[in-house]
Amino acid sequence: MVTLPLPVLRRLPTYLLLLTEDRAAGRDYVSSTDWAGRLGATPIQVRKDLAWTGAVGTPKKGFAVTDLETKIRECLGTDARRDVFLVGTGALGRCLAGHPSLGRHGFSVVATFDPAGRCAAGADPSVLPWEKLPELARRMGISVAILAVEPSLAQKTAERLAAAGIRSLWNLTGQTLALPPAVAVLEEDWGARLATLITQTAG
Partner DNA sequence: TAGATTGTTAATCGATTAACAATC
**Given the rule CB under 7 A, which residues bind DNA?**
5-8, 31-34, 41-45, 47-48, 50-51, 55-63
Verify binding: residue 120, a second copy, rule CB under 8 A.
no
Q: Is 190 exposed, middle or buried (0-12, 13-18, 19+ CB in 10 A)?
A: exposed
Question: Residue 8 binds what, of DNA, a second copy, none (CB under 5 to 8 Å, by partner type)?
Answer: DNA
Angstrom distances, CA of residue 72 to CA of 31, 93, 145, 183: 15, 28, 23, 24
Q: How far apart are CA 197 and CA 94, in angstroms?
A: 25
Q: Which stretch binds a second copy (CB under 8 A): 112-120, 122-130, 155-163, 167-175?
A: 167-175
The partner in contact with residue 45, picked from a second copy, DNA, none with C-beta cut-offs of 5 to 8 angstroms by kind, is: DNA
Per-residue interface string for the shown chain with a second copy, residues 9-38, x marking contact by CB under 8 A: xx-xxx-xxx-------------------x
Q: Which is nearer to DNA, 48 or 132 (CB)?
A: 48
Q: Which does 196 bind (CB under 5 to 8 A by kind): DNA, a second copy, none?
A: a second copy
Which CB sits closer to DNA, 69 or 114?
69
**Is residue 85 within 8 Å of 144, Cβ to Cβ?**
yes
The answer to whether the beta carbons of residues 30 and 20 sit under 8 Å apart is no
Phi and psi, residue 131, nearest 5°: -65, -25
**Per CB under 8 A, 116 contacts a second copy:** no
Around Cβ 35, how many Cβ atoms within 10 Å? Answer: 23
